[in-house]
Amino acid sequence: MTEILILTPSKASPLGSPFKRKLTPSPESFPSNKRVILSPEPLSHAHPATVNSVVVPPLCRHIVMPFDLSKDKKGFSNPNLNILLNLFPHLISVSFDGYSLVFLFSTLPPKPWPKTIAGALPYFTTDSNNNGPLSPFLNRQSKQPKLHLYSERDANDLLPQEIDEFLELVSSAFGKLDIAVTEIQYWEHFFVVVLEDRNTDLKNVPCQFAKCLCFYLFEWEIHRPDINSYSARRMKEPRDTVKDDSTYEILRPGIMVSSGWLNESGAELLTSSGTLIRDCTGEVYMTIASHGFPNGGKVFHPSANGRQIGKIIKKFDHTDVALVQLDDTETFTNETFESPVDDVPATKLQDFLPFTEPFMAQLVYMNNPFTGYSRGMVGAYSITRIPSDAQNATDMRWIKTRWFYLGQDFVKELVDGLYGSVIWDADGKVLGFFNFAITQGALMNWGCFVASDEVAEQGYCISP
């Protein structure tokens, strides 16, 4: 028999805490902050006769188990599996691919669904052929099963220092085959190659590369947004939606920033502050999403009617990252907001984390004025092709990116202003900057962030 204990964290920051938002954005504040702790052993109970097999109540944001799959994948076994199988009514089966828990139902439970279960992001479905958020990447293989490249090498479970080399090998191999690709992803035991031309003959592409299977997507299937068409304003403004447009005397990651008035109609673009970085001379700058400032120039907080906090001095090409030189009167602290709903304390951002170091399925975090605190699961190591300024169109540049899964229905919370939000891990290491999320098609609810290497390799580091 599995028993259940519902807890609401009692620890609270003092009123007026500098780490708390003045307004909690709507997506963060719902559902209510109930945590469920399950044990495979019966819990002590004042009235044992009243304890029955319990199904998780609605509106539980996180279900905490005596095991954590984000830290130990081997935890998906009995007796833990039996606990999972008794969580919900109408549950047929549970599977775990090392990245997310896939729950197959005859009838889906009512929404809202939990954000995490046993430390992993859950995926709910009634389709027995739906294998979860990873399945769209495994959609298509070569029609030439004997075409293997670099068979003398083994790319399974690469060490961090080996990943760059193999991504470059795959890029070079497709260049020699004269097959245009827009992205190459490494998933520890397989590669996903994004083909530019939807008419590419799959008989001409490799089936395996360095003992890893190759899967293929076409660029049109990804529905990747065009950076030149990004909007910094909300896609939609639902009634009763709360965003944090408060004024803060001390700046920090995740406050609202504005482009100022763009024209006489009173339009402005709203985005989120990133982090504070430092160059080799000791000068410090705040990062922002460059597309939110089409005219460059001045930066305001929290809106065009607020105060000027600095001006843009540099944009990193093709990354959507720009640097703001803050006015002398401004103070910026590299501590994130805490989350009163998830009982998450403020995090001190400490350093950039290299592109290859965050492990697959690692949980990462983001906090911005539009969606508040949210978490995702890191996926592929990826290099994405960027057209260079060279006259030769075949001369391309690649930037480092990482995919991460944001959870089912995240796109319903998505607003354009969160672009540029900083992504960090449990240790406060900065992985990169939110670039886009897929809002339609098979890859919906997956997002992509530009790796911090694109900034660090130009001589910048996190400011203490």
Contact of 90 with 105, CB cutoff 8 Å: yes
Find which of 8-12, 44-48, 95-99, 338-342 is predicted with most confidence, using mean pLDDT: 95-99
Give the containing element (helix H, strand E) for 169.
helix 160-176
The confidence score (pLDDT) of residue 361 equals 86
Instruction: Tell whether 303 and 283 lie within a shared domain.
Output: yes
* Pairing verdict, β 148-149 and 208-209: parallel
Retrieve residue 146's tokens.
């004997």
Between 227 and 406, the more confident residue is 406
Q: Is the residue at 90 inside a domain?
A: yes
- Which whole number is the average pLDDT over 135-162? 94
Asked if the structure places residue 370 within a domain, the reply is no
Residue 16 predicted with pLDDT over 70: no
- Using CA atoms, how far residue 93 sits from 37, 65, 80, in Å, is 21, 18, 13
**Among 135, 3, 7, which residue's Cα sits nearest to residue 61?**
7
Residues 98 and 206 in one domain: no
* pLDDT value of position 61: 79
The residue type at 195: L
Residues 111 and 14 in one domain: yes
* 368 falls within a domain: no
265: pLDDT strictly greater than 90 = no
Sheet containing strand 284-289, strands side by side: 270-272, 256-258, 298-301, 307-316, 321-326, 284-289, 276-278, 461-462
8 and 127 inside one domain: yes
Contact 337, 20 (CB under 8 A): yes
pLDDT at position 374 over 80: yes
pLDDT at 367: 93
Q: CA 222 to CA 123: how far, in whole Å?
A: 20
- Tell me which residue range forms the domain holding 216: 138-222
Give the residue-averaged pLDDT of 226-244: 57
Return d(Cα 30, Cα 341) in angstroms, integer: 8
Which are the contacts of 409, defined by CB distance < 8 A and separation ≥ 6? 111, 113, 445
Residue 59 lies in a domain: yes
Highest mean pLDDT among 35-39, 172-176, 289-293, 372-376: 172-176
CA dist., res. 288 & res. 276, Å (int): 10
- Binned at pLDDT 50, 70 and 90, residue 34 comes out as low
Band of pLDDT at residue 36, cut at 50, 70 and 90: low
Q: 216 and 309: one domain?
A: no
pLDDT category, 2, cuts 50, 70, 90? very low
Task: Write the secondary structure of 34-64 as one string of H (helix), E (strand) and C (coil).
Answer: CEEEEECCCCCCCCHHHCCCCCCCCCCCEEE
In whole angstroms, give the CA distance from residue 96 to residue 76. Answer: 7
Tokens 């890191």 identify what position?
378
28 and 144 co-located in one domain: no
Within a domain: residue 339? no
Which residue, of 271, 302, 332, is where some domain finishes? 332
Q: What is the arithmetic mean of pLDDT over 124-145? A: 92
- Specify the pLDDT at position 250: 97
Q: Are 219 and 182 in contact (CB under 8 A)?
A: yes
Look at the chain and report how many structural domains it folds into: 3
Mean pLDDT value across the chain: 85
> pLDDT-derived band of residue 229, with 50, 70 and 90 as boundaries?
low
Mean predicted confidence (pLDDT) in 80-89: 92
Identify the CA nearest to 95 among candidates 39, 35, 135: 135
Higher pLDDT among residues 349 and 5, named by residue: 349
Establish if 235 belongs to a structural domain: no
Q: Please check whether residues 112 and 17 belong to one and the same domain.
A: yes
Calpha distance 455→451 (Å, rounded): 8
113 within a domain of the structure (yes/no): yes
Dihedral of CA atoms 156, 159, 162, 166 in degrees, nearest 10, equals 20
Is the pLDDT at 241 greater than 60? The verdict is: yes
Q: How confident is residue 4, by pLDDT bands cut at 50, 70 and 90?
A: low
Residue 70 and residue 177 share a domain: no
Q: Are strands 422-424 and 429-437 parallel, antiparallel or unpaired?
A: antiparallel
Please check whether residues 179 and 120 belong to one and the same domain. no
The verdict on 9 and 121 lying in the same domain is yes
Query: In which band, very low, low, confident or very high, does the pLDDT at 1 lie, cut at 50, 70 and 90?
Result: very low
Say if residue 208 is in the same domain as residue 272. no
Q: Are 28 and 373 in contact (CB under 8 A)?
A: yes
What sections of 361-405 are H helices per DSSP? none
CA proximity to 61, closest of 415, 424, 412, 344: 344
Q: From 89, 116, 131, give the residue that closes a domain.
A: 131
Report residue 24's pLDDT band, with 50, 70 and 90 as the boundaries: confident
Domain-located, residue 36 = yes
| Reported confidence tier of residue 46, pLDDT bands at 50, 70, 90 | very low
User: Tell me: the pLDDT tens digits for 247-264?
Assistant: 999 999 999 999 999 876
For position 425, what pLDDT does the model report? 95
Cα(98)–Cα(448) distance, integer angstroms: 20
Q: Do 264 and 196 reside in the same domain of the chain?
A: no
Point out the least confidently predicted range of 194-198, 307-311, 388-392.
Answer: 388-392
Average pLDDT for residues 96-124, to the nearest whole number? 92
> Domain boundary residue among 222, 248, 273?
222
**pTM for the full model?**
0.86
